[in-house]
Amino acid sequence: MVDSNGQMVGNAKIVARGVERYFGDGRAKDRLHALGPLDLDIGDGEFVCLVGPSGCGKSTFLRMAAGLINPSEGTIDLRVRKEEQATAMVFQEYSIYPWKRVLANARFGLDVAKVPKKEGNERAMKYLQRLGLADRSRAFPAQLSGGMKQRVAIARALAVEPEILLMDEPFAALDAQMRQILQEELLALWQADRRTVLFVTHSLEEAILLGDRVLVMSARPGVIIASKKVPFERPRSVDVRTSAEFRELEAELWALLRQEVKQAEIEEAAT
């Protein structure tokens, strides 16, 4: 449950308090204030989508949650059972190894975790099968389409069975038709196991289709200016895209976001 301030009431999987991020050499006049202060709770099993103008710190927050970079101020607490299986991340770029076959790419995180190869192959194949790639397990990435490459990246992230899945615009590089197909596949995958997901996107339609909640961020330094619960029940059909309620929520979110996008553009032009 989420209160009027967008904070979780009850179990939370990700808890951020006073999070800020600066870039620069430490002198105030030279530092870039990229993000925050930001307070945020994400519930156990919740699918939260983060939207905002370019440069507002969406991806920066995701990388801090993944432990790839540290906050300049504040804390991000991941309330997980096992640290080694806490998070997995899917990037916008396909980020798979061109010299490894599909199965080896999907198994890579399990190899790093020293899972025995036989078990790793079985787990990786399970997710390749769910993503329609079982028959391409022996292929190299150069033999795959863009959509297939991103499916491999998603399979690799899911194979380690993380408690928290972090996704940074994973479908942005795909054409419109393939993007829609992968949205539908991810929706079905998530509804099957309900793991916690934090998903960064520029697409309001994508955020509403996939998310339980959509968080809107301001122009840099990014703070959360709105938290909107998505009203459509689970399991959710992709047919909700055509409903009047869907389009009304999309228009409401765009009304919140429009001025922030304009402000980000002004700031970008001034630098």
Question: What backbone torsions phi and psi does residue 75 show, to the nearest 5 degrees?
Answer: -135, 150
**What pLDDT is attached to residue 2?**
46
Q: Is 270 strand, coil or helix?
A: helix
**What pLDDT is attached to residue 175?**
87
> Does the domain formed by 12-86+163-270 have CATH 3.40.50.300?
yes
**What pLDDT is attached to residue 30?**
73
Burial of 146 from C-beta contacts in 10 A (0-12 / 13-18 / 19+): middle
CB under 8 Å to 153, separation ≥6 — which residues?
Answer: 90, 91, 94, 95, 96, 105, 170
**What pLDDT is attached to residue 268?**
67
> Which two three-digit tokens encode residue 225?
């200016």
- 140 and 172 Cβ atoms separated by less than 8 Å: no
Q: Would the CA dihedral through 237, 186, 169, 61 be positive or negative?
A: positive
The pTM score is: 0.90
Taking the CB of residue 2, how many other CB atoms lie within 10 A of it? 19
pLDDT lower than 50: segments of the chain: 1-9
- 178 and 28 Cβ atoms separated by less than 8 Å: no
How far from chain centre, in Å, is Cα 133? 22
What number of CA atoms fall less than 13 Å from residue 189's CA on the CB side?
A: 23
Map tokens 């194949």 to a residue. 125
| Domains of the chain by residue range | 12-86+163-270, 95-161
**What pLDDT is attached to residue 4?**
38
